[in-house]
Chains A and B, each alone.
Chain A
């Protein structure tokens, strides 16, 4: 249990660092570390497959692309757009609203019972595969269709217009 609290602390700490730090590349790197702590959470829950897929997809692919784009953008202090006073005021108001909501939900919070896995092997590949392809086949297929659609859309947007002669 203390391990959980330690990792949870690290998750929150690094996700705060993501928004506190000024340099966008540092921000992405802290986000990578945050995802790594999520992977540790999954391992603690014995969800090995989810852990390793989170590792490969988020840390290995998506964040590399984020970093890739940021490196090309060459962001620094001079190019940072100056925000007008109106936007700053709106930001402050929105932030206060969020603070009120968070404070209210923390007041209403109770300490939950410790999580007990009914079936500790549910996160292993074979059981997960069986569940996905039996009980949740339709949602699984629909979500893959959704991803495919997004991919086709991206290719269509990136494709150059054919010049009509």
Chain B
């Protein structure tokens, strides 16, 4: 392992990390702007032109607020909660291929931090770990509302992970690999996107992604009308900020995962027919990938300001009685079609 390889990966990691944080930061502004647009008002527009300095102002406010740790709280775990939430949110983007390779001075630079052989499962594992942040924070607060929020978060995330895993199995039967790099490389151009072969799987996956991110209509762990603030009722200052921030990072990462798995990642139509050099294809591919991610983030926000929240029993019914049977049917259907295709074509 030569030094230049390590430097290259370090640069990539820093770039991805900074991009993730900046996008998460500006998602908070975008969320309010989209809300304003949906509700026919302006949204924040005082801090800087069009309110583009608003996230900085919010961040500053979080840092300067008084930090309170309740007397009855378990101090260590109270601090560990938001820490775990933000760390798991940040490390999940490590296996996402952001683009093809760049040719810089005779070296091929892969725009992916780690091409793990089990990339899809890695993301799953990190998502599964994310729920500890919420559970520990909620329990350590020593507050009944927080505990209710934490318990809701745990049961919701476990229920929807099952359906999410099953929807991924059908996709893996088509792609025959767990490496995200290969999955994207297979979806060249436009007609090879996995969404055309797995439309049902995509809908199930997306629903579960909403639930895993605790976004409306699945934001029961933090529903303020029933639980004051949910699992973060007792949190103040930057710890609250980290919880909020990790939610936006999760939204960004799950948008990236959805574009990678189903919408071709960095692939775009006619990518090899325009007579462009490899580097240009890569650069345009990265831009296209981010365009897809932003479209998904917008979709997340669109849903938030359109749908009301589920009731808890409705949430569980949807997860166990509708999504899981549908996902299993999808697996069977995929298997039958693959078998017919292999036998007769």
Question: Contact residues of A with B, CB < 8 Å?
Answer: 25, 29, 32, 48-49, 52-53, 55-56, 59-61, 64-65, 67-68, 71-72, 124-125
Contacts and interface: CB of A to CB of B under 8 A. Distances in A.
Contact of A71 (B118, B121, B122, B147): B147
Residue among A55, A60, A65 facing the most chain B CB atoms (10 A cut-off): A60
Contacts of A32: 132
Given A52-B124, A60-B129, A64-B154, 5 more contacts: A25-B77, A25-B139, A67-B132, A71-B135, A124-B117
A69 to B, nearest CB: 10
B285 to A, nearest CB: 27
B324 interface: no
A48 B135 contact: no
Nearest to A52: B121
A59 B178 CA distance: 21
Contact of A61 (B136, B161, B178): B161
B301 interface: no
A64 B131 contact: yes
Nearest to A49: B118
Nearest to B121: A52
A25 B80 CA distance: 14
B135 A56 contact: no
Interface string B48-86: 000000000000000000000000000001000000000
B125 interface: yes
Contacts of A72: 151
Interface of B: 77, 116-118, 121-122, 124-125, 127-129, 131-132, 135-136, 139, 147, 150-151, 154-155, 157-158, 161, 178
A53 B118 CA distance: 10
A37 to B, nearest CB: 15
A59 B128 contact: yes
Contacts of A68: 135, 151, 154-155
Residue among A55, A65, A72 facing the most chain B CB atoms (10 A cut-off): A55
Contact of B132 (A64, A71, A125): A64
B156 to A, nearest CB: 11
Contacts of A64: 128, 131-132, 135, 154, 157-158
Nearest to A62: B158
B24 to A, nearest CB: 23
B151 to A, nearest CB: 6
Contact of B128 (A49, A61, A125): A61
A61 B157 CA distance: 9
A7 to B, nearest CB: 18
B124 A56 contact: yes
Q: Which 7 A-B pairs have the closest CB atoms?
A: A60-B128, A55-B125, A52-B121, A56-B125, A52-B118, A68-B154, A48-B118
Given A64-B158, A125-B178, A71 B151 contact: yes
Nearest to A25: B139
Contact of A67 (B124, B128, B135, B157): B135
Contacts of A56: 121, 124-125, 128
Contacts of B77: 25, 29
A67 B77 CA distance: 13
Contacts of B124: 52, 56, 60
A53 B77 CA distance: 26
A52 B151 contact: no
A59 B151 contact: no
Contacts of B178: 125
Contacts of B128: 55-56, 59-61, 64
A71 B139 contact: yes
A25 B147 CA distance: 14
A64 to B, nearest CB: 5
Contact of B129 (A49, A59, A65, A124): A59
Contacts of B154: 64-65, 67-68
A49 B117 CA distance: 8
